[in-house]
Chain A
Amino acid sequence: MAFFDNLALGFGVALTASHLLYCLLGVTLGSFIGVLPGLGPLVTISMLLPITFNLEPTSALIMLAGIYYGASYGGSTTAILVNLPGESSSVVTCLDGHAMAKQGRAGPALAIAALSSFFAGTVATALIALFAPPLAGWALSFGSPEYFSLMLVGLLTAAALAHGSMLKSMAMVVLGLVLGTIGTDVNSGLYRLTFGVPELSDGLSFVVIAMGMFGIAEIVANLEQGTAREVFTGKVRNLMPSRRDIADSWRAVLRGTGIGSFLGILPGAGTTISSFLAYAMEKRFARDPSRFGTGAIEGVAAPEAANNAAAQTAFIPTLTLGIPGSGTMALVLGALTIYGIDPGPRVMTSHPDLFWGLVVSMWIGNLMLVILNLPLIGIWVRMLRVPYRLLYPSIVVLCCVGVYTLAFSYLDVVFMAVSGVAGYVLVKLECEPAPLLLGFVLGPMMEENLRRSMVLSRGDPSIFVTQPISLGLLVFAAILLALLVVPAIRDKRAAAVSEGEH
């Protein structure tokens, strides 16, 4: 029973007073920066890194990890309350989370986000503890063709993101793809659509567009209603989810956890995509998809579970392969090296106290987040009673500051403002921004991996069907497409037949 010995070792390390304190410090700081729009774990960790040099490695790592998953957790709060994604992974949470808040159900939305995150965190931590090395091997078997096929599946689910016209949703995806091509093409190193603006050479920032299209557009749209209105006129009902809410969302939490855990292991796929896919899948397989976008609690539970699971399993390639899945993970990896710890397959045997201490403290940290956040829900919800003329200008200021600190570039603030206006126009045209953002995220990765695969195969497209994982994903994509197209054709035929009868 080596596993339980290891777990005992981990609890021994994580439950010391100082490690508990660092864990608490990390998650508190993390949820705080997660709430602030634009300010992310990347900047925070890099600022704190020099300070942690003087700490004992395990303490430092526990704290840095706490900041990281705390932030992915805190991002959902502003998404639900004011339609402002604090982190890129919480964009999808806006869709139904904010709709719930508008109906006076901000409390249950926040609570279900917290609880599903906790559940997903627990499962993902267990996965790390039990299967980290074999799962890491799986990450390696995902090459360029596999990534391309995965992104294709992702893009097909985009159709499920919007609840209006399919045509408009497709148009939004395409617009997102175009916006995604802005910047330097990885394969050729050439600039595309940068119009001579050096700031565009690395492309538009996802956070900037998301904050504009959701948060700012929402504020602009609210201006129509005059200044006298309160943010939420509806009476705030109960703070905790009802029995029915739990019954509605537990399956979504399970599926979200599965999708998130899996995508988190793949370096580069990341938490953003996992939350998008979890949401899209949920809607795809829902008995009544029309509820989505209007305050379906599954629409909050699934992406929140997914992004938190992915945030945790992202540690697998980082710790066992030394391959960081994101910028923040690269920092954590750098920190490990500074502490003289070589990440790799041997980290579990060479530094068992650090590995198991970290795993256990991640679970404790998740528990702390729930304990910390559930009582805060009442306070957050009360914040919504702050008059509109005070609350929304402060949000705009916070957004501008947050976006500016991304790259110390005022142009990012301008881009956010433009996205805000564009987002408002799209709302008026009844086009939804979510498919656009999905296209924006997936498009560049899809193109990059498609072209790279073609270079690797020296121009032979069969590379996508001769690799078993890629083939499997393509078959799945074909099934998705069929599910999408067949009912539409059948409906049309039915309509034609019934017209003919008249």
Chain B
Amino acid sequence: MSNKICRAAGVGFAFAAAILILAAGTAFAAYPEKAIRLVVPFAPGGGTDAAARIVGDAMTGLLGQQIVVENKPGAAGNIALDTVAKAAPDGYTLLLGFGSSLTVNPSLYKVMPADVQKDLAPISTLSTSEYMLVVNPSLKVKTVAELVAKAKAEPGKLNYASGGKGTPLHLGAEMLKKRAGIDMVHIAYRGGGPASKSVMANETQVLFASFPSSLPKVKAGTLTALASTGPKRSRSLPDLPTMEEAGYPGFIVTSWTSILAPAGTPKPVIDKLHAAIEKALAMESVRTKIEAVGQSVAGSTPEGLATLIKEDIARWRKVVQDAGIKPE
């Protein structure tokens, strides 16, 4: 009797296990079966949010499930990082990773909510964007060399603006100070908009500014552009030299956007998402929209993104330490 029960139980168990395995198999095959959350580390508006919505929109069409953009701003992106790193690794919660949030924050904060390299599974980069070095026109400098000469003639007199501590705008200027051996005073503003206004009003004189916000001002002559910070000249200002051409090899300040999942997300899910992102980035409509918000489309393999994160963390750590910025 008990034997029968045992056997029945055994068969039942095997059966249940078989169903579970089958179900699990089909679960991944059928992924995605419901809407996917894409957590953006900033408030709506701005380039990163735009990239998320543009690519998310295209992926919705490709995957047949809604990609829902969820803005979780705060702590320079650490709150969004925390949310995704602790989410179930099932492919239904993804992080829109912004370059400097992921790679500068580890040097800027004593306590990080998660280990960017261990707790996240990279999927792909989406886009890159560069910055430009702009000055107030009344400074009457046209090249980086002239700016450096001016700063050396009057040490500590020039002010440079930034959108806050640890932003690429701040670190770019600190890199310039270090590389050129000049002294400029840091004036922090609440974001890139007020920083750019301060240069236009000559309250500050120097700024590493984002392309989309400064391009119209450079064209209108209210700001003078000295150099761009990408590895190549910018398509929108082909006459503007890069920082490397201006005599600072390796002076590259770019930011990128990417999509990452919580560590432990199954490989088939990662592959499926990567394929969808690759297809989305190849779409003409996605490319034009990304370019319209001042970025360039740039995909990668999951391994490529992992390497990028590793290298950038090391690179920014050095800049932060050189600038003497204390972690908070």
Q: Which A residues lie at the B interface, using CB under 8 A?
A: 42-43, 45-47, 49-50, 53, 140-144, 184, 186-191, 198-199, 201-202, 267-268, 321-324, 327-328, 330-331, 333-334, 337-340, 342-346, 407-409, 448, 452, 455-456, 458
User: B186-204, CB under 8 A of A: which get 1 and which 0?
Assistant: 0111100110111011011
With A199-B74, A322-B213 in contact, is A49–B193 under 8 Å at CB?
A: no
| Contact B197–A323 (Cβ < 8 Å) | yes
| Contact A140–B194 (Cβ < 8 Å) | no
* Contact for B70 among A201, A328, A408, CB less than 8 A: A408
Cα–Cα distance between A189 and B166 once the two chains are bound (Å): 8
B315 at the interface (CB under 8 A from A): no
| Contact B328–A189 (Cβ < 8 Å) | yes
| Contact B50–A49 (Cβ < 8 Å) | yes
Residue of A nearest to B214 (CB): A322
| Contact A334–B46 (Cβ < 8 Å) | yes
| Contact B201–A42 (Cβ < 8 Å) | no
Cα–Cα distance between A292 and B100 once the two chains are bound (Å): 50
Residue of B nearest to A203 (CB): B74
| Contact B188–A337 (Cβ < 8 Å) | no
Collect the chain A residues with CB atoms within 8 Å of residue B166's CB.
189
Closest beta carbon of chain B to A408's beta carbon, Å:
5
B130 at the interface (CB under 8 A from A): no
Closest beta carbon of chain A to B86's beta carbon, Å:
13
Cα–Cα distance between A18 and B53 once the two chains are bound (Å): 26
Q: Which B residues lie at the A interface, using CB under 8 A?
A: 43-47, 49-50, 53-54, 57, 70-76, 78-79, 82, 113, 159, 164-166, 185, 187-190, 193-194, 196-198, 200-201, 203-204, 212-213, 215-217, 219-220, 222, 289, 292-294, 325, 328
Cα–Cα distance between A45 and B71 once the two chains are bound (Å): 14
Collect the chain A residues with CB atoms within 8 Å of residue B70's CB.
408
Collect the chain B residues with CB atoms within 8 Å of residue A186's CB.
164, 188-190
Cα–Cα distance between A184 and B190 once the two chains are bound (Å): 10
| Contact A456–B292 (Cβ < 8 Å) | no
Cα–Cα distance between A106 and B216 once the two chains are bound (Å): 47
Task: Show 19 A/B contacts (Cβ-Cβ < 8 Å), sorted by A.
Answer: A43-B44, A46-B49, A50-B57, A140-B197, A186-B188, A187-B188, A198-B79, A267-B193, A268-B190, A323-B194, A323-B196, A323-B200, A337-B294, A342-B215, A344-B220, A345-B222, A407-B74, A408-B70, A456-B203
Collect the chain B residues with CB atoms within 8 Å of residue A337's CB.
212, 215-216, 292-294
| Contact A346–B220 (Cβ < 8 Å) | yes
| Contact B45–A322 (Cβ < 8 Å) | no
Cα–Cα distance between A458 and B154 once the two chains are bound (Å): 14
* Contact for A46 among B53, B78, B220, CB less than 8 A: B53
* Contact for A140 among B54, B72, B201, CB less than 8 A: B201
Cα–Cα distance between A421 and B193 once the two chains are bound (Å): 37
Collect the chain A residues with CB atoms within 8 Å of residue B219's CB.
342, 344
* Contact for A455 among B76, B187, B201, CB less than 8 A: B187
* Contact for A202 among B54, B74, B189, CB less than 8 A: B74
A140-B201, A189-B328 given; name 4 further pairs at CB < 8 Å. A144-B203, A337-B215, A344-B220, A458-B185
| Contact B72–A408 (Cβ < 8 Å) | yes
Collect the chain B residues with CB atoms within 8 Å of residue A142's CB.
201
| Contact B198–A334 (Cβ < 8 Å) | no
| Contact B193–A448 (Cβ < 8 Å) | no
Cα–Cα distance between A142 and B197 once the two chains are bound (Å): 10
* Contact for B212 among A43, A268, A334, CB less than 8 A: A334
| Contact B216–A407 (Cβ < 8 Å) | no
Closest beta carbon of chain A to B325's beta carbon, Å:
8
* Contact for A338 among B43, B73, B193, B293, CB less than 8 A: B293
Collect the chain B residues with CB atoms within 8 Å of residue A201's CB.
74-76, 78
Closest beta carbon of chain A to B127's beta carbon, Å:
14
Residue of A nearest to B213 (CB): A322
| Contact A344–B216 (Cβ < 8 Å) | yes
Closest beta carbon of chain A to B237's beta carbon, Å:
13
Residue of A nearest to B37 (CB): A408
Closest beta carbon of chain B to A486's beta carbon, Å:
36
| Contact B164–A53 (Cβ < 8 Å) | no
Cα–Cα distance between A198 and B81 once the two chains are bound (Å): 11
* Contact for B165 among A188, A331, A345, CB less than 8 A: A188
Closest beta carbon of chain A to B211's beta carbon, Å:
10
Residue of B nearest to A47 (CB): B44
Cα–Cα distance between A338 and B291 once the two chains are bound (Å): 9
| Contact A143–B220 (Cβ < 8 Å) | no
Collect the chain A residues with CB atoms within 8 Å of residue B159's CB.
456
Cα–Cα distance between A184 and B77 once the two chains are bound (Å): 13
Closest beta carbon of chain B to A246's beta carbon, Å:
39
With A327-B43, A334-B46 in contact, is A455–B203 under 8 Å at CB?
A: no
Collect the chain A residues with CB atoms within 8 Å of residue B54's CB.
50
Collect the chain A residues with CB atoms within 8 Å of residue B289's CB.
50, 53, 338
| Contact B45–A344 (Cβ < 8 Å) | no
| Contact A340–B53 (Cβ < 8 Å) | no
Question: Can you list the 9 inter-chain pairs with the closest CB atoms, starting with the nearest?
Answer: A189-B165, A46-B44, A342-B216, A344-B220, A201-B75, A331-B45, A198-B75, A338-B292, A140-B201
Collect the chain B residues with CB atoms within 8 Å of residue A342's CB.
215-216, 219-220
With A186-B188, A202-B75, A408-B70 in contact, is A267–B57 under 8 Å at CB?
A: no
Cα–Cα distance between A202 and B164 once the two chains are bound (Å): 12
| Contact A345–B220 (Cβ < 8 Å) | yes
Collect the chain B residues with CB atoms within 8 Å of residue A191's CB.
328
| Contact A455–B217 (Cβ < 8 Å) | no
Collect the chain B residues with CB atoms within 8 Å of residue A343's CB.
216
* Contact for A198 among B82, B220, B222, CB less than 8 A: B82
| Contact B190–A334 (Cβ < 8 Å) | no
Collect the chain A residues with CB atoms within 8 Å of residue B220's CB.
322, 342, 344-346
| Contact A42–B44 (Cβ < 8 Å) | yes
Residue of B nearest to A194 (CB): B75
Cα–Cα distance between A338 and B213 once the two chains are bound (Å): 11
| Contact A327–B200 (Cβ < 8 Å) | no
Collect the chain A residues with CB atoms within 8 Å of residue B113's CB.
198
Closest beta carbon of chain A to B56's beta carbon, Å:
9
Collect the chain A residues with CB atoms within 8 Å of residue B190's CB.
186, 268, 448
Cα–Cα distance between A452 and B201 once the two chains are bound (Å): 15
| Contact A189–B164 (Cβ < 8 Å) | yes
| Contact B203–A321 (Cβ < 8 Å) | no
Residue of B nearest to A140 (CB): B201
Closest beta carbon of chain A to B110's beta carbon, Å:
10
Collect the chain B residues with CB atoms within 8 Å of residue A333's CB.
213
